[in-house]
Structure 1
Amino acid sequence: MEDQKKRGLLIVIEGIDGTGKSSQARMLAEALRTSGVEVLLDREPSDGPFGKILRASMTEGRLAPADELELFHKDRRQHVTDVITPTLDRGCHVVLDRYYFSTMAYQGANGFDVNELRATNESFAPAPDLLFILDLDVDAALERIGSRGDEANEFEQRDALQFCRDVFLSVKDESYARVVDSSPSLEEIHKEMLEIALEQIG
């Protein structure tokens, strides 16, 4: 009888805007595939029906905070059930750009209780096997956001960004968390993250 295929790892990349999460998620997934590892690169909000509504709300006018939060939870429940868990169960690793830690940070900045948000999400969403927290000083993050031609949205103002940064760093002592300085070059950060991920995958 064949050995049961080893479960995949859930690798999550978090951090405030301007830290390079999406670039690092893409680079990490590509490098892992090159090394012979099966990887699904994904993101939240997801590309499912609830996620599409959330993405539209970010560009076409924000929903009421409570409605937005409900959609985040519906989207994540569906994402976990339909995509994340089945993918991990078949032995494929998942590299995820944002997860429930972003809900804790950004919806927390919107006035919801961070601890309640965490408890609600962890009641149905599996904890990551590896969480990269890309950390950057708020002034540097705002400078990067401005340099790419974007205007800071309501969550990218200094106080809100600092709040979000503090929330991300509040989980740094979890066994699965690794704080990565996001001030060096993309390649330097990528090299550090790839080394940690490969060690974790074994």
Structure 2
Amino acid sequence: MLIVFEGIDGTGKSTQVRLLAEALEARGLSVVTSREPTDGPFGKKLRESMIEGRLSPEEELQLFYDDRRDHVEHLILPALEAGKVVILDRYYFSTMAYQGARGFDPAKIREENEGFAPVPDHVFLLEIPVATALERIGVRDGSGNTFEQEGNLKACAGIFDTLEEDWLHRVDASQPPEDVHAAVFALLSPSLQTPSPQA
């Protein structure tokens, strides 16, 4: 099973990845957690650009694609094929939102990614007001990296708002982390029911 947490910065995705992984491992499931951008060579360049200044839109988008191809090939697919649950902090929906905010077509980004990246079984879209997100990430008076600017986050949130799939669940992330986790687990529980052994 492939599970993804998405949302703008400050929604608590990494916390929810950890809480869900712990809950599933307690049920005896084998879980692998990861994030995008990854810590690989392409992801490292992207993370450096968040601090040192954003790359050109074209270069940034290509790095996200290269990073994801590497991620899919070396971690995501092998783990899924081994029967493990993979939980990700961001996936190609973030590329749709953040690169869409830079002028690329989100629908085209999605189509290109789904040509090589497996579609998740569940996406939990954590939602909070942009003002709350800025407070959480400690951005004041427009400071922070360019990914965290208010206008950019509003544009990203607008693209996330357009997503609509049966496997995409919107969760109010303004609640305490434990309550968010409870909501996530309740939505996921039907997929965790194992059939009774045949007599």
| 2:85 aligned partner, one-letter code | H
SS in 1 for 2:171: strand
Task: Judge conservation of contact 1:142–1:152 (CA < 8 Å) in 2.
Answer: no
Per the alignment, residue 107 of structure 2 pairs with 115
| 1:62 aligned partner, one-letter code | R
The whole-number CA distance in structure 1 between the counterparts of 2:152 and 2:41 is 28
Query: Does 2:52 correspond to 1:21?
Result: no
The whole-number CA distance in structure 2 between the counterparts of 1:147 and 1:67 is 26
SS in 1 for 2:3: strand
Going from structure 1 to structure 2, the CA distance change for 1:32 and 1:147 (only over 3 Å counts) comes to: farther
Query: Does 2:171 correspond to 1:180?
Result: yes
Task: Judge conservation of contact 1:133–1:169 (CA < 8 Å) in 2.
Answer: no
Query: Does 2:100 correspond to 1:104?
Result: no
TM-score between the two structures when normalised by the length of structure 2: 0.90
Task: Judge conservation of contact 2:101–2:152 (CA < 8 Å) in 1.
Answer: yes
Going from structure 1 to structure 2, the CA distance change for 1:136 and 1:25 (only over 3 Å counts) comes to: same
1:152 to 121, 124, 144: 144
- How many residues were matched structurally? 192
Per the alignment, residue 59 of structure 1 pairs with 51
Query: Does 2:80 correspond to 1:50?
Result: no
The whole-number CA distance in structure 2 between the counterparts of 1:142 and 1:87 is 35
1:128 CA drift (Å): 0.6
Task: Judge conservation of contact 1:42–1:95 (CA < 8 Å) in 2.
Answer: yes
SS in 2 for 1:126: coil
The whole-number CA distance in structure 2 between the counterparts of 1:92 and 1:51 is 23
1:179 CA drift (Å): 0.2
1:64-83 Cα distance to aligned partner (Å, 9 max, x none)? 22111111101101111111
1:151 CA drift (Å): 4.0
Per the alignment, residue 191 of structure 1 pairs with 182
The whole-number CA distance in structure 2 between the counterparts of 1:156 and 1:23 is 19
Per the alignment, residue 33 of structure 2 pairs with 41
| Identity across the alignment (%) | 53
Per the alignment, residue 78 of structure 2 pairs with 86
1:9-45 Cα distance to aligned partner (Å, 9 max, x none)? 0000000111111111111111211221110011111
The whole-number CA distance in structure 1 between the counterparts of 2:131 and 2:52 is 27
Going from structure 1 to structure 2, the CA distance change for 1:147 and 1:61 (only over 3 Å counts) comes to: closer
The whole-number CA distance in structure 2 between the counterparts of 1:161 and 1:104 is 13
Mean Cα displacement is larger for which, 111-120 or 10-19? 111-120
The whole-number CA distance in structure 1 between the counterparts of 2:15 and 2:158 is 22
> Structure 2: where are the runs of 5+ without partners?
194-199
1:129 CA drift (Å): 0.2
| 1:87 aligned partner, one-letter code | A
Per the alignment, residue 196 of structure 2 pairs with none
Q: RMSD over aligned Cα, in angstroms?
A: 1.7
The whole-number CA distance in structure 2 between the counterparts of 1:198 and 1:151 is 40
Query: Does 2:18 correspond to 1:31?
Result: no
| 1:29 aligned partner, one-letter code | A
> Structure 1: where are the runs of 5+ without partners?
1-8
